[in-house]
Structure 1
Amino acid sequence: MNTLIILVHPCEDSFNHAICDKVKNHLIHKNYEVKVRDLYKLKFNPILTEDNHTSFYQTKLPKEIQLEQNEISWAENLIFIFPSWWCGMPAMMKGYFDRVFTNGFAFRFDKSEVDGLLKGKKAVIFQTTSQTEEFMKPNQLVSSMETAMDVGIFDYCGIDIITHKFFFSVPYIDKESREKMLKEAEGIVDTL
């Protein structure tokens, strides 16, 4: 199965990169076709300008956005890996959605109706955080991020969410706990 991993973290020695490597190698071992889009390594420009917005509406897309859309079109499975910064996704991740998930590609909005154009695709989200689960869940920070992303982006575009997995307290846990998380990530992608 064609699987596209979108990775967003500036540090190559981050746990996010470790998740990416573990998941990529696991899927390749299972004979999946896997591509990785490391947005920092690619120097992806996340800034949507007024000119971009007008062009997107008219479907006159810059080449770098056409390339990203071609990668998404190729994929049956999408895996997103990124940290939580200020109780949300990094600006790079948000900018990717702003620029790549355009009207006419990811969805079609016509007056009051929305048609998700990415139906049939499955997504797994791995989101890391330095915060504890005991802090995040009672304060509804997990549910608010899940709603914004799972419903506000993926469901809107017709993508089926398989799992939105949060890994908590990542900078403060020991190596054994991280290894358990990586093993869990392998198990999650087995559901694709």
Structure 2
Amino acid sequence: MNTLIILAHPCEDSFNAAICNEIKDHLTSKNHEVKIRDLYKLKFDPVLTEDNHTNFYQTKLPKEVHVEQNEITWAENLVFIFPTWWGGMPAIMKGYFDRVFTNGFAFRFSEKQVDGLLKDKKAVIFQTTSKTEEFMKPSQLVSSMETAMDVGIFEYCGMTVIAHKFFYSVPHVNKESRLTMLKEAKSVVDIL
């Protein structure tokens, strides 16, 4: 199995990076070929330019976008790891979707519908937050983020979301709780 991990956190010693490393080691031990795209290390430019946006079918894409699309084409599974900032994903991750999941690559408009072109891909999302589950769920923050990503991005592009896992209160929990979360992350990707 080919698994691509897309990480969006600026700190190399973050819990998001720990999740990434744990997942990589775990899946490699299960004979997955794993690649990591660390958006901050890559200095991925999240800004969608007017030229790129107004070219509706986006046939003249920058080289860095082609590189990312080639990695997605290679992958059978996509694992996204990022923190929750201001009720959503970091700008670099949103810009990744804006620039890489283009019309003609991730989806195609036809006369009366949109066809998802990534039907053969499975997605797992790991999203960390500093807030408690008791704060996030009653406020509908979890369900709104799940809908925006799982339906608005992945389902739209034809992908199957296997899991969207939130880890709560990450900066405030002890080491044992973090180890439990990492163990849980491994069990989530066992279904890939």
> Normalising to structure 2: TM-score of the pair?
0.98
* Residue matched to 2:50: 50
1:125 aligns with 2:133: no
Matches within 5 A, 1:1-192: 1-55=1-55, 57-192=57-192
Q: Distance in 2 between matches of 1:173 and 1:181?
A: 10
Q: Distance in 2 between matches of 1:32 and 1:20?
A: 14
* 1:112, distance to aligned residue in structure 2 (A): 3.3
Q: What is the percentage of aligned positions where both structures have the same residue?
A: 78
* 3-state SS of 2:156 partner: helix
* 3-state SS of 1:139 partner: coil
- The code of the aligned residue for 2:105 comes to F
Structure 2 residues not aligned, in runs of 5+: none
| Contact 2:3–2:77 (Cα < 8 Å) also in 1 | yes
Q: Distance in 2 between matches of 1:89 and 1:111?
A: 32
* 3-state SS of 1:35 partner: strand
- The code of the aligned residue for 1:101 comes to F
Q: Distance in 1 between matches of 2:170 and 2:95?
A: 24
* 1:56, distance to aligned residue in structure 2 (A): 5.8
In the superposition, relative to structure 1, how do residues 177 and 124 fare at CA in structure 2: closer, same or farther (>3 Å)?
same
Q: Distance in 1 between matches of 2:191 and 2:142?
A: 22
| Contact 1:55–1:61 (Cα < 8 Å) also in 2 | no
Q: Distance in 2 between matches of 1:56 and 1:78?
A: 25
| Contact 1:56–1:102 (Cα < 8 Å) also in 2 | no
| Contact 1:28–1:34 (Cα < 8 Å) also in 2 | yes
Mean Cα deviation higher: 55-64 or 41-50: 55-64
* 1:58, distance to aligned residue in structure 2 (A): 3.8
Structure 1 residues not aligned, in runs of 5+: none
Q: Distance in 2 between matches of 1:86 and 1:76?
A: 31
* 1:111, distance to aligned residue in structure 2 (A): 3.8
* 1:39, distance to aligned residue in structure 2 (A): 0.3
- The code of the aligned residue for 2:100 comes to V
* 1:59, distance to aligned residue in structure 2 (A): 1.1
Aligned length: 192
| Contact 2:82–2:90 (Cα < 8 Å) also in 1 | yes
CA deviations over 1:131-160 (Å, ceiling 9, x no partner) = 000000000000000000000000000000
Q: Distance in 2 between matches of 1:182 and 1:176?
A: 10
* 3-state SS of 1:157 partner: coil
Q: CA RMSD in A?
A: 0.8
